[in-house]
């Protein structure tokens, strides 16, 4: 048997160990793309590690369940554990869900770490800051930036694969990356009504640019071969040529080079079509000019004979 002094020493060590353990208790644990993050007692967010099935199954019996029961009422009345990532603030609801707070920091005054008096206005949620101002609370999915940031920290984000996707005037172009190429359709949230509606202003602007010189020459008796008209016409011609080469020709080459269309047997298909289009445009202009010249010569000859 142990002596009495040894038993007393062991009991004192156990009592001293209890506060030490309490100082490292983690709260507000939540998952981001399978990676678990928790808050230290000082409010700093730290990465715990990638969640496993054994951890997930054991979570109901861990001390974190106590924290969930103590903050269950805060799910609809308060949000805590607020922290900022760049210029966006995020907080934790009572059920562990992370939400975004639509609050803006003014000056050197830090944003609050908790909000109370949460209530709903229709489908939107609002909470009260310590200074009495009302702020809107949205789901973390509305912004999406916080999840991506945690994914980058864990090294499992899509950007880590090296793939870079960007758009050329609405045409998606992806380079790099090791992901498998897919030909499935990618749905995008386009404003169809706006795109269709903008067709008519573009048609009006085009008609104005085409008919304005004719109207001004007929009504104002202005000479269309003057230096001002020449500069305007050359500028318009340059815009059209630049649009054709920079946007249309480039996008056509990207589309014809798409693996989903199969192998392109003739590599110069895009430039051949562009060359044929330029030839037809010059041919139409030449025939129209010859027809107008012949018509003018016929009218002049008939007037002289009469």
pLDDT in tens, 160-184: 455 666 665 455 666 665 556 677 7
SS3 of 157, please?
coil
Q: Are 93 and 74 in contact (CB under 8 A)?
A: yes
Q: What is the rounded average pLDDT of the residues 151-158?
A: 41
pLDDT of residue 19: 47
The owner of tokens 């870079």 is 164
Q: Is the pLDDT of residue 190 over 80?
A: no
Q: Is the pLDDT of residue 199 over 90?
A: yes
Helix (H) or strand (E) holding 195: helix 192-197
**pLDDT tens per residue, range 231-270:** 888 998 899 899 888 888 888 888 887 778 888 888 888 9
**pLDDT tens per residue, range 68-126:** 333 333 346 788 888 887 778 888 887 778 888 888 777 777 888 888 888 887 788 88
List the one residue out of 174, 176, 151 whose CA is nearest residue 162: 176
SS3 of 73, please?
coil
d(CA 274, CA 286): 18
**pLDDT tier, 280 (very low <50, low <70, confident <90, very high otherwise):** very high
Look at 99 and 279; give whichever has higher pLDDT. Answer: 279
DSSP 244: I
d(CA 67, CA 82): 16
d(CA 112, CA 131): 9
Look at 126 and 42; give whichever has higher pLDDT. Answer: 126
Residue-averaged pLDDT of the chain: 73
Task: Give strand pairing partners of 124.
Answer: 121
d(CA 107, CA 92): 25
Look at 140 and 218; give whichever has higher pLDDT. Answer: 218
List the one residue out of 84, 101, 92 whose CA is nearest residue 38: 92
Give the chain's end-to-end CA distance (angstroms, integer): 143
């Amino acid at each position: 048997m142990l002596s009495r002094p040894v038993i007393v020493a062991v009991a004192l060590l156990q009592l001293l160990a209890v506060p030490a353990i309490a100082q490292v208790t983690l709260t507000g644990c939540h998952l981001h793309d399978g990676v678990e993050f928790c808050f230290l007692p000082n409010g700093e967010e730290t990465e715990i590690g990638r969640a496993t099935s054994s951890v997930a199954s054991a979570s109901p019996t861990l001390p974190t369940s106590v924290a969930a029961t103590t903050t269950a009422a805060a799910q609809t009345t308060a949000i805590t554990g607020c922290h900022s990532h760049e210029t966006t603030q995020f907080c934790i609801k009572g059920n562990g869900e992370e939400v975004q707070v639509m609050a803006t920091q003014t000056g050197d005054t830090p944003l609050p770490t908790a909000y109370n008096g949460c209530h709903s206005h229709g489908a939107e949620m609002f909470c009260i800051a310590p200074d009495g101002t009302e702020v809107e609370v949205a789901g973390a999915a509305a912004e999406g930036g916080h999840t991506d940031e945690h994914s980058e920290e864990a090294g499992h984000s899509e950007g880590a694969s090296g793939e870079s996707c960007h758009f050329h005037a609405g045409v998606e172009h992806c380079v790099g990356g090791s992901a498998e190429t897919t030909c499935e359709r990618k749905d995008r949230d386009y404003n169809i009504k706006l795109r269709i509606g903008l067709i008519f202003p573009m048609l009006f602007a085009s008609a104005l640019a085409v008919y304005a010189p004719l109207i001004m020459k007929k009504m104002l008796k202005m000479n269309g071969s003057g230096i001002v008209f020449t500069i305007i016409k050359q500028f318009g011609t340059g815009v059209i040529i630049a649009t054709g080469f920079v946007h249309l020709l480039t996008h056509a080459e990207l589309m014809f080079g798409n693996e989903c269309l199969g192998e392109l047997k003739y590599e110069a298909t895009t430039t051949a079509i562009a060359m044929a289009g330029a030839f037809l445009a010059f041919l139409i202009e030449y025939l129209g000019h010859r027809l107008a010249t012949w018509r003018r010569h016929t009218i002049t000859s008939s007037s002289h004979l009469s």
